[in-house]
Amino acid sequence: MARVIEALDRAALRENTARVREDIAAAARRAGRDPGEVELLAAVKYIALEDLDALADAGLTLLGENRAQELEAKELAHPGTFRWHFIGQLQSRKVKQIAPLVELIHSVASDSALDQLERHGTPETEILLEVNVAGEAGKAGIAPEELGAYLQRAPVKVSGLMTMPPFAEDPEASRPYFAGLRGLAQEHGLARLSMGTSQDFAVAVEEGATIVRVGSTLYRA
């Protein structure tokens, strides 16, 4: 597995987790929100299976994995310890493998994925539809104008939306895309918004995120 973080500094992880939670709470308060409305999801794509206990020690129990095979291995190694979300690009052929392992799939953005969810989803399966708010060519996500049609044909529960804005050094550059996703969610009566990563999660919280996906900021020594 490429780019695995070699050795987690447990003390630093605990400090970083506390700092990120404080930043989330401060951003929520600036927006007049209850900090308890926002979940911190630790992205663990580059965390080795044997280091997951360090995350539990730091109080990080909601984890997101990008790859089906790693998700399965990590979930099976720590049964009942973590809540799992799938946050990577969703390949339709992997839906059958992923659906039983997670409480939420963040990245549904194709007709083929919906077809597989119809075959392999359960009454407990919940998804977020990934929306390409910025309209970036070649980037995953459905167009905002297609959202209504996807909601109508979704065979499982759609509890909200997810987006990845264009990369920018300035977190403020993400704000209009987060605001746009919030508007779409409100228009369609959807409660959950997965948006914001290490670089811009505070702005995402100010704009209504209910889940922020944080990785590198947590793992710095």
Q: Domain 10-219, CATH 1.10.1060.10 — does that match?
A: no
Write down the pLDDT at residue 3. Answer: 61
Q: Where are the domains of the chain?
A: 10-219
Q: Which pLDDT belongs to residue 1?
A: 36
Digit-coded pLDDT (tens) for 149-197: 999 999 999 999 999 999 999 999 999 999 999 999 999 999 999 999 9
Considering the chain, what percentage of its residues have pLDDT values greater than 90? Answer: 93
Residue 2 in this model has a pLDDT that exceeds 60:
no
What is the tens place of the pLDDT at every residue in 66-120? 999 999 999 999 999 999 999 999 999 999 999 999 999 999 999 999 999 999 9
pLDDT for position 174: 98
pLDDT at 138: 84
DSSP letter string, 44-99? -TTS-GGGHHHHHHTT--EEEES-HHHHHHHHHHSTTT-EEEE-SPPPGGGHHHHG
Alpha carbon 169 to chain centroid, angstroms = 20
C-alpha–C-alpha distance, residues 186 and 147, integer Å: 12
pLDDT tens sequence across 15-40: 999 999 999 999 999 999 999 999 99
Q: Are the C-beta atoms of residues 175 and 150 closer than 8 Å to each other? A: no
Please give the distance of CA 128 from its chain centroid, rounded to a whole number.
Answer: 9
pTM (2 d.p.) = 0.95
Mean pLDDT of the chain: 95
3 state SS of 142: strand
